[in-house]
């Protein structure tokens, strides 16, 4: 049986999965992510791999990590959340575990998992939006990850949607993630509750009367109960995501556009506004088929599955 291991290095945990050639996750393991401690992160990866490989013959290990990954999939050029700059992660991990390794951006491994075994299977080209505290993205074109010349393409969350808009942590202003992330959803709910408390009664009740205490979870709960401000907050991020998705159709004509990440747990509260604004933005293409917008299928396993598959096919990667 052909087995590989996929590892996802997150801000709080290092998670891994033992995956077969059909994308089935046979076992999982996890360790906390040590803060600002590169040797500690490598050790956590080693412990996860050692736990999963016990009693099995493993071909290789794929690693998904946040940040900019070099074009040869060896080095994390920049990952602020882990305080990494030009970190030769592939070689350090490979030396620690005694197996071949490949490194890829976390959103890229997620869309690759969906492309091979999830909601994008059967589509040669697809786009993935990951909606969490920020907005990440991955793009597959003609069965290949779109990585660009330097390996850092598909930074969808940092495409400008509002000229001279809100400041972003990347140093620019008006980036998509400032208007379409989980944080943006919460901020829209707080601002709306302050502007018109009479339309935010459910929200304010859940937040104990303090608009600054409103959370994303409360916004979702209030929207399910019909709270006007909460619903408007979802419509706001849906507007920006829907228009961004329409831009992707105009740019690469994908077969499907996937929405993933923690905020997608809201289901149609999020997807319906995205689809509405997406359809409006593409009204001029009414006679031409366009991609369906749908939720991703693999959830938190997408990255592990995608990373493991990239490791399995590492010799074929371009």
99-108 confidence digits (pLDDT tens): 999 999 999 9
- Using one digit for the tens of pLDDT, what is the confidence trace for 116-164? 999 999 999 999 999 998 999 999 999 999 999 999 999 999 999 999 9
Instruction: Give all strands of the β-sheet with 68-69 in edge-to-edge order.
Output: 68-69, 76-79, 84-87
Which of these, 72, 58, 61, 131, lies nearest to 317 by C-alpha position?
72
- Paired tokens of 174: 């008006």
The position carrying tokens 């005694």 is: 98
Residue 318, pLDDT score: 54
- CATH code for 122-296? 3.30.420.40
A 10 A CB-CB count for 287 gives 5
Q: Report CA-CA distances (Å) from 107 to 50, 99, 217, 219, 261.
A: 25, 23, 23, 26, 10
Residue 140's contacts (CB-CB under 8 Å, 6 or more residues apart) are 111, 112, 115, 120, 124, 125, 126, 127, 146, 254
Percent of the chain with pLDDT over 70: 99
Domain 3-112+301-316, classified CATH 1.10.3720.10, yes or no: no
Which of these, 214, 211, 72, lies nearest to 152 by C-alpha position?
72
pLDDT at 189 over 70: yes
Whether the Cβ atoms of residue 204 and residue 193 lie closer than 8 Å to each other: yes
- Paired tokens of 232: 């408007």
CA distance 138 to 108: 5
Enumerate the domain spans of the chain: 3-112+301-316, 122-296
- Using one digit for the tens of pLDDT, what is the confidence trace for 218-275? 999 999 999 999 999 999 999 999 999 999 999 999 999 999 999 999 999 999 999 9
Whether the Cβ atoms of residue 277 and residue 239 lie closer than 8 Å to each other: yes
Counting Cα atoms < 13 Å in the Cβ hemisphere of 105 gives 27
Residue 35, pLDDT score: 83
CA distance 129 to 136: 6
Which whole number is the average pLDDT over 20-33? 96
Whether the Cβ atoms of residue 63 and residue 9 lie closer than 8 Å to each other: yes
- Paired tokens of 86: 């030009």
Mean pLDDT, the chain, whole residue set: 95
Same fold, 3-112+301-316 and 122-296: yes
């Amino acid at each position: 049986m052909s087995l590989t291991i996929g590892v996802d290095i997150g801000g709080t945990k290092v998670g891994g999965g033992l995956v077969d050639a059909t994308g089935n996750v046979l076992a999982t393991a996890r360790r906390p992510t040590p803060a600002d401690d590169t040797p500690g992160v490598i050790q956590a990866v080693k412990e996860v791999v050692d736990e999963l490989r016990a009693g099995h013959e493993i071909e290789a290990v794929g690693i998904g990590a946040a940040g900019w990954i070099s074009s040869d999939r060896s080095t994390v050029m920049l990952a602020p959340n882990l305080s990494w700059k030009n970190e030769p992660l592939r070689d350090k991990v490979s030396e620690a575990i005694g197996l071949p390794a490949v490194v890829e951006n976390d959103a890229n491994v997620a869309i690759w998992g969906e492309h091979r075994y999830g909601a994008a299977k059967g589509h040669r080209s697809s786009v993935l939006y990951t909606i969490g505290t920020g907005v990440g993205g991955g793009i597959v074109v003609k069965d290949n990850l779109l990585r660009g010349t330097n390996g850092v393409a598909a930074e969808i969350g940092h495409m400008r949607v509002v000229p001279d808009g809100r400041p972003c942590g990347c140093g620019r202003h008006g980036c998509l993630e400032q208007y379409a992330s989980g944080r943006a959803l919460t901020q829209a709910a707080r601002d709306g509750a302050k502007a018109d408390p009479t339309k935010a009664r459910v929200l304010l009740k859940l937040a104990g009367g303090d608009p600054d205490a409103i959370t994303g979870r409360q916004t979702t709960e209030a929207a399910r109960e019909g709270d006007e401000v909460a619903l408007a907050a979802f419509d706001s991020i849906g507007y920006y995501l829907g228009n961004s998705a329409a831009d992707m159709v105009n740019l690469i004509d994908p077969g499907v556009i996937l929405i993933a990440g923690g905020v997608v747990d809201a289901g149609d509260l999020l997807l319906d506004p995205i689809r509405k604004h997406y359809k409006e933005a593409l009204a001029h293409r009414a006679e031409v088929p366009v991609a369906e917008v749908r939720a991703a299928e693999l959830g938190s396993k997408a990255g592990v599955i995608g990373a493991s598959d990239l490791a399995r096919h590492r010799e074929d990667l371009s």
